[in-house]
Chains A and B, each alone.
Chain A
């Protein structure tokens, strides 16, 4: 079993919809939770990170962590065609440990 599981998609939604992207994990020691966005032929870029549990909001993006369920989510409000990309979740136990990525979810926003 992988430490981090992520549905690969593809996920296709109409412009303006709310998008929900999710990851589950098995290691209860994870403390840092990150979301990266990767456009085709580019390196990933950090969207958001949270430490431990709770929510974090940044513009149209909201990250949620539920440690009791070992489940993290990224919500995108008012989705735009420019949000079309692959979204990767990532986790780590501490600031000095290795980072484990999910396999990524490919998202397409239809105009």
Chain B
């Protein structure tokens, strides 16, 4: 089944403890992206990647890192999480370099930082 998977789906952690949220897609998509969703603020793009080894900042990159070493995986790294990073996170991928608007989203990861 063609899909975008994220792990873990739920995570509660403490301030300052490094964590990684994994994202994987099995559709051979070029474009991948991370978003956070907060009430009243909608979806905000954190980072995106047009291709392997190519990443760029979205609207809210502060406090996050990403890497794209292979096409199918795009992990999101929080080196030192803080409570303001408590949010619902979505990974997405798109089938065409020329059209990342056709995105397929993962199921979401709910992160709580205490």
Chain A contacts to B: CB under 8 angstroms: 6, 8, 32, 34, 41-46, 49, 88, 90, 92, 95-96, 98-104
Q: What residues of A have a CB within 8 angstroms of the CB of B44 in the complex? A: 101
Closest to A95 in B: B98
Would you give the shortest CB distance from B60 to chain A, in whole angstroms?
10
Closest to A41 in B: B108
Report the Cα distance A23→B33, complex, angstroms.
23
Chain B contacts to A: CB under 8 angstroms: 4, 33, 35, 40-45, 48, 50, 56-59, 90, 92, 97-108
Closest to A86 in B: B42
Contacts A8-B40, A92-B100 given: A99-B105 contact, CB under 8 Å?
A: no
Choice from B33, B90, B102 contacting A49 with Cβ under 8 Å: B102
**B42, A42: Cβ atoms under 8 Å?**
no
**B58, A98: Cβ atoms under 8 Å?**
yes
**A43, B42: Cβ atoms under 8 Å?**
no
Choice from A34, A45, A102 contacting B42 with Cβ under 8 Å: A102
Q: What residues of B have a CB within 8 angstroms of the CB of A100 in the complex? A: 45, 59
Report the Cα distance A54→B90, complex, angstroms.
30
**A95, B42: Cβ atoms under 8 Å?**
no
**A44, B43: Cβ atoms under 8 Å?**
yes
- Count chain B CB atoms within 10 A of each CB in A8, A42, A90, A103 and give the residue with the most: A103
Closest to A42 in B: B107
**A98, B59: Cβ atoms under 8 Å?**
yes
Closest to A34 in B: B101
Would you give the shortest CB distance from B63 to chain A, in whole angstroms?
17
